Amino acid sequence: MFYILNCQKDIESYCQEVGRAGRDGLPSKSVLYYSKKDADKQRKLVYQDDRKSHDFIRKLNIIRFDKMDNLCQVGLKKESKDIWEGITHYFEKYDVDNELKEEIEDSIDKLLKGFKKPKTLFVNNTKAAWQIRKGKYKVGEENKDYLDKDRSQGFQFVLNGELDYFDLCISDAIYSIYNIGKRKFFLKNIIEILSGNERALLEKKMEKEIRARIEKMMETDICIVWEYKDTKFNLFQEKFFVS
């Protein structure tokens, strides 16, 4: 199999494209056709990038393209083994000058400070929520508790699904995001809030778990009835969690 491509915008993109050859497990070759005309077109796109992004991103893209262009030119006179040694060196030793490093770090700090983040985790402090956290309720049955010592006021709630402490933590985090005016968020934001670390990483396993928990809460119905001196008032009957 032959896989043919032209000059890419950076070495990362080139490696991704080359990897398409041999995906069927059979011997294959990848051929790069390089011409100065094609490279100049790519360079123009990189140098004239006027998107509303930080200037250091454009500078980095220029550096990365220049390294790709240099690889193409040098590669014309080298064997494949030597070219891959150069690519390996690029990924192991890739670096930028200190001035650009400082610009990148300053821009990231400003970007993080510019995000509006909840200063407080808003917690559902209702008695029903705490019973759910403690697992002290039965699915599909009336769960009753009183609000005063003489038991003249009380409430009942019924859940048709089983929720636990972690479900409530996720719900609290989402409400905290919603409370500062955000209507869209990433699952990573939930981990950032619950851990208190804005650089927290969201692993695939945890992402899958959080997504499953949210879907479960969206499918769970809850009915809350307030009772006062043998009179019942239906306070709430809805999905436990509404997207």
Residues 6+ away with beta carbon under 8 Å from 170: 190, 194, 210, 213, 214, 217
Give one DSSP letter per residue of 138-167, joined into a string. Answer: -TTS-EEEESSTT--EEEEEEESS---HHH
Question: In the predicted model, is pLDDT for residue 127 greater than 90?
Answer: no
Could you read off the pLDDT of 74-84 as tens digits, one per residue?
Answer: 877 777 778 78
Say if CB 163 and CB 219 are below 8 A apart.
no
Q: Please state, as a whole number, how many other Cβ atoms lie within 10 Å of the Cβ of residue 112.
A: 11
- pLDDT (average), residues 136-155: 80
Cβ neighbours around 132 below 10 Å, total: 24
Task: Judge contact between 131 and 162, C-beta under 8 A.
Answer: no
Distance CA 125, CA 121 (A): 12
The confidence score (pLDDT) of residue 113 equals 58
Cα gap 14→32, rounded to integer Å: 9
Let me know: does 76 contact 19? Beta carbons within 8 Å.
no
Question: Rounded to an integer, what distance in angstroms lies between the CA atom of residue 7 and that of residue 72?
Answer: 7
pLDDT tops 90 at residue 209 = yes
Cα–Cα nearest to 91, from 19, 12, 8, 18: 12
Portion of the chain with pLDDT greater than 90, in percent: 5
214 in Cβ contact with 241 (< 8 Å): yes
* Structure tokens, 154: 């009380």
Please tell me the least confidently modeled range out of 63-72, 150-159, 229-238. Answer: 229-238
Please say if the pLDDT value at position 94 is more than 80: no
Measured distance CA(17)–CA(241) in Å, rounded: 43
| Alpha carbon of residue 142 to chain centroid | 38
